[in-house]
């Protein structure tokens, strides 16, 4: 990946993280920060662990319809049960509002499974750079 591609990708990732954060902060304020992260993880799990036919069915639902959020909750419960996630009660169901679930689902609609590795790599790189910068600041205090 060239430096320009990495910078563009980093901008896309930062934008995506910012949009997810806004959705969770504004629409899911009843959840703690850890619970919000758990719910985001559940949406990602649903998106990338589901069969292609399930994804197609979910993507065929109007994104502005409350039916999408309800279908996401139903599909997550089925997936959690099939993957034996239900042994730990908080992970047995999606706790986001129907609207929040649908909004986050739509944000990840254009990202393929292969790109997740790129996003994770960019996030690690950004964290390392931030950590290195902070260590440099600490040395000069």
pLDDT in tens, 16-41: 888 888 999 898 988 888 898 889 88
CA pair distance 129, 26, nearest whole angstrom: 29
Residue 71 contacts residue 58 (beta carbons within 8 Å): yes
- Cβ contacts of 12 within 8 Å, gap of 6 or more: none
pLDDT, one tens digit for every residue, the chain (141 residues): 544 444 457 777 788 888 888 999 898 988 888 898 889 888 988 888 888 899 899 999 998 898 999 999 999 998 888 876 666 677 788 999 999 999 999 888 766 555 555 555 555 555 555 544 444 444 444
Angle between helices 98-107 and 3-27 (to 10 degrees): 180
Residue linked to tokens 């739509």: 106
Conformational region of residue 108, where left means phi above 0, alpha means psi within -120 to 50, and beta covers everything else = alpha
């Amino acid at each position: 990946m060239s430096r320009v591609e990495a910078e563009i990708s980093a901008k896309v990732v930062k934008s995506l993280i910012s949009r997810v954060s806004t959705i969770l902060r504004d629409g899911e304020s009843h959840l703690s920060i850890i619970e919000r992260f758990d719910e985001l993880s559940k949406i990602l799990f649903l998106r990338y662990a589901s069969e292609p036919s399930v994804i197609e069915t979910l993507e065929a639902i109007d994104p502005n319809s409350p039916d999408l959020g309800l279908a996401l909750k139903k599909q997550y419960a089925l997936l959690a049960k099939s993957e034996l996630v239900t042994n730990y009660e908080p992970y047995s169901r999606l706790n986001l509002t129907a609207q929040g679930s649908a909004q986050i689902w739509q944000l990840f609609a254009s990202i393929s499974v292969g790109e997740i590795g790129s996003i994770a790599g960019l996030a690690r790189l950004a964290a390392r750079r931030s950590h290195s910068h902070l260590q440099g600041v600490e040395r000069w205090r």
